[in-house]
Amino acid sequence: MSAFVMLNGYIEESIGALMRRTGLFPGLIALSGLIPASIAAADPPFSSTADTVFDIITVDDPSHFTCLSYTGRTTRQMWDKRVDNEFDFNVYLFTAHFDDSPPFDIIVNPEFGSREAAEAEARRYTRPLGQLPLVLRHGIRQFGIHKGNPTFSAGAGKIFVYSDRTTTRIGQNHLEESLLHEAVHATLDRKYRQSDEWIAAQVSDGRFVTRYAASRPEREDMAETALFAYGLIRHPGRIPPVDSRDILAAVPARIAFVKDLLNQTPQVPPAPVPPENCH
């Protein structure tokens, strides 16, 4: 079960770091199948989303988050990268409400020890989650929080994060950007990352925007590229001109693809009136 989930359900951010340390790109790229090695070998302008310094989404940007309510303790399965397995936990269950979409669950590992500590942790993410465009956020069904320092991971509908890593990301002004990457996995991957249109855009571009994307073109290219594309399209002043030119030169077809996506309005049910204990 765990190996199956590991290989098929969740996308591992940490592989990129491993690639960088070991310099294994060419062999792995050649094995990846979809993209010819000659194409993938062109040098991407950046290492990975996690390593870039651009503050594409700032803490002061508006957010669709409205309030957080506490539902109580309940049993939920949580994938935990620290042990590479999935367990039932008696989690703290919260519901995050937004003004443009239905709410979703935030589940907090009981290791946080009290409702108050769990709520304080959950509130570190709520405003940044509301900053994500609906087209990236509407697929999130459950947001899980553990302690510890593993990199974030996500599968269809689910994101798991680790509080020490979050502290690092906040210190880098990069929590919002990391959540955008994971939201792509949660919301868009299943429909688009292996679609004919995306693969045609990859082939047309002939390059990748990060080495992490190049190392895992099937799993990570869309999540990696989407952030840079989002920055160029929605906040063009936040990526320096020289870097903007590099990104445009590397992946113009994928930027056009993401632009089309961002122009879509997902059909979601209206936001319900939050419960009275929501604040």
Interface of this chain with Zn ion, residues 131 to 170, rule: CB under 5 A: none
Is 92 or 152 the residue whose CB approaches Zn ion more closely? 152
CB-nearer residue toward Zn ion: 205 or 220: 220
Q: Distance (Å, rounded) from C-alpha 154 to C-alpha 166?
A: 15
Tell me how far, at minimum, the Cβ of 110 lies from Zn ion, in Å: 27
By CB under 5 A, what part of segment 12-71 binds Zn ion? 13
- Which CB sits closer to Zn ion, 13 or 80? 13
CB of 185 to Zn ion, least distance (A): 6
Provide, rounded to whole angstroms, the least separation between the CB of residue 182 and Zn ion: 7
Q: What's the rounded Cα separation, in Å, for the pair 244 and 130? A: 26
Min. distance of Cβ 181 from Zn ion in angstroms? 5
In terms of CB distance, is 14 or 74 closer to Zn ion? 14
Binding region for Zn ion (CB under 5 A) out of 4-12, 140-148, 159-167, 237-245: 4-12
- What DSSP line would sit under the chain, residue for residue? -HHHHHHHT-EETHHHHHHHHHT-HHHHHHHT-SS-HHHHTSPPSBS-GGG-----S-TTS---EEEEEEEEEEEEEEEETTTTEEEEEEEEEEEEEESSS--EEEEE-GGG-SHHHHHHHHHHHHHHHHHS-HHHHTT--EEEEESS-PPPEEETTEEEEEHHHHHHHHHTT-HHHHHHHHHHHHHTHHHHTTSHHHHHHHHHH-S-SBHHHHHSTTTTHHHHHHHHHHHHHH-GGGS-HHHHHHHHHH-HHHHHHHHHHHT-----PPPPPPPTT--
How many residues line the site for Zn ion (CB under 5 A)? 4
In b/e form, how buried is each residue of 61-93, taking b as 16+ CB within 10 angstroms? eebbbbbbbbeeeeebebbbbeeeebeebebbb
For the CA atoms of the chain, what is the radius of gyration?
A: 18
Query: Please, what is the minimum distance in Å from the beta carbon of residue 176 to Zn ion?
Result: 15
The nearer residue to Zn ion, 11 or 93, going by C-beta atoms, is 11
Given a contact cutoff of 8 angstroms between Cβ atoms, the answer to whether 207 and 42 are in contact is yes
Give yes or no for residue 11 binding Zn ion (CB under 5 A).
Answer: yes
The nearest distance, CB 223 to Zn ion, in angstroms, is 4
Name the residue nearer to Zn ion (CB basis): 68 or 222: 222
CB of 118 or CB of 145, closer to Zn ion: 145
Binding mask 211-240 for Zn ion (x = CB under 5 A): ---------x--x-----------------
Shortest distance (Å) from residue 75 CB to Zn ion? 28
Using the minimum distance from each CB to Zn ion, give the nearer residue, 121 or 220: 220
Report the nearest approach of Zn ion to the CB of residue 95 (Å): 26
> Which residue ranges make up the site for Zn ion (CB under 5 A)?
11, 13, 220, 223
